[in-house]
Amino acid sequence: MSKLAGKSTVAPRPASVLRTSPTSDASTFEGGPAFSKDVKTELFTLAVSNFVSEKTFYEDGETRDTRFRDLVRQASVEDPLWTAKLLRWLRTEGNMRSASIVGAIEYGIAANRNNISTVSPRAVLRSVVQRADEPGEALGYWLGTYGRKLPKWLKRGLFETALDQYSVFSALKYDGQGQPVRFADVIEYSQGDGVTRSSESEALWTWLLDRRHGRDSGKDYELPMLQARRNAESIPVDARRGFLRSSGLEIVKDAGYTWESISGWVQGPMDAEV
C-alpha cells in the first residue's frame, strides 16, 4: 500500500459554491480587512442566520431586513431559478420559516416588476408555505410592510396556499382568536377566480368565514370533525376524564384533539393516563 500512499500532486479544489474576493478588498465594521461576497453568497449567508426583525450586534433589525429584501430582489433578477430553489430549501431543510416567507414575497415583487417567468411568484410562495398558519404569516408580512392593496399574483398565491393547507383540524389547531391574521382574513384577501372547489372545501371556507365574524353558532356545516368536536365539548366537564378513558382514541382521532387542546378539554392535570 505504501507505493500508492505518496503525497498527492493534485491541488485540492474548493467544494463550496460560496464565493468571496480572492484578496481583501473591504473593511469590517471595526476597520479590519474583509473580503467582499457576490450576491448569492451574501444572500445565502444572511438567509441562514436571519431571524426576521431581530437585532444583531452590528445591525439593527430594520437594517438587516432591508438588506435581506434587497438581496432577494437582486438575486431574483440575476438568477430566478437559483433564488426559488434557495427559498424552498430555506423553508424545508433549512427550517427557516419567517425568512423563507419574506423571501418568497420579495421574489414575487421582483418577478412581477421585471416580468420574470422562469419560476412564477405563486409557485415560489406555495413552495415555502408548509404549514396552515403560514398563509396568514405571508399576508401579515405584506399588510405590515406594503399596505392593504395586494397584487393579483399574491391574491391567487394566497388562495392556492389556503387550498393546500386549510382543514378543520388545522383551523382548530392554528386559527385561534388571538391570532393577528385569521384563516378567514386570508380567504377574504385571496382570489381564486375560475377555480372549482369541492363541496367539503366550500363548507370549510364558509365555516371559517362565519367563525371569524361570529356567525357560526348553531349552524351545521356537515364537517365530520367539527361535529365530533362539538359533541365532545357538550360532554359535562366532570364526565370528560372518564369518557376519555373509555373512548380516548376515537376522541383524539374524530374530534382532532392535540395534547394542547385535550388538556383544556379535560380541565385537569395532564397525568400519564391522559
DSSP characters over 136-154: HHHHHHHHHHH-S---HHH
Within 8 A by CB and 6+ apart from 22, the residues are none
Question: Could you give the C-alpha distances from 158 to 84, 87, 188, 229, 265, in angstroms and in order?
Answer: 17, 17, 10, 27, 32
Whole-angstrom CA distances from 143 to 28, 138, 237 are 35, 9, 41
Q: Average pLDDT of 89-112?
A: 95
Closest alpha carbon to 112 in 155, 70, 151, 145: 151
- The Cα–Cα gap between 270 and 189 comes to 39
Distance CA 274, CA 272 (A): 6
Phi and psi of 27, rounded to 5°? -125, 145
pLDDT in tens, 159-182: 999 999 999 999 999 998 888 999
The answer, yes or no, to whether residue 58 has pLDDT greater than 50, is no
pLDDT 10s digits, 210-268:
999 999 988 889 999 999 999 999 999 999 988 888 887 888 889 999 888 888 899 88
Report the Cα 219 to chain-centroid distance in Å. 31
Contacts of 182 (CB under 8 A, 6+ apart): 136, 175, 208, 212
Q: Which three cell numbers stand for residue 258?
A: 392535540
Nearest to 250 by CA among 268, 234, 262: 262
Helix ranges restricted to H, the chain? 39-47, 61-78, 80-91, 97-113, 121-128, 134-146, 152-165, 168-174, 183-189, 199-212, 224-233, 237-255, 259-266
Short-list 225, 211, 130, CA closest to 169: 225
Q: What is the mean pLDDT of residues 119-132?
A: 97
The lowest-confidence range among 45-59, 89-103, 218-232 is 45-59
pLDDT value of position 20: 61
Residue type, 74: Q
* This prediction's pTM: 0.85
* pLDDT given for residue 36 in this prediction: 55
pLDDT of 116 higher than 80:
yes
Q: Is the pLDDT of residue 150 over 50?
A: yes
Residue 57 — pLDDT band, cuts 50, 70, 90?
very low
Average pLDDT, the chain: 87
Distance CA 141, CA 104 (A): 11
Which has more confidence, 11 or 203?
Answer: 203
Cell, residue 246: 373509555
Rounded CA-CA distance 114/108 in Å is 10
Q: Is 20 helix (H, G, I), strand (E, B) or coil?
A: strand
- Which range, of 20-29, 79-88, 110-119, 160-169, averages the lowest pLDDT? 20-29
Cell of 217: 353558532
The more confident residue out of 41 and 31 is 41
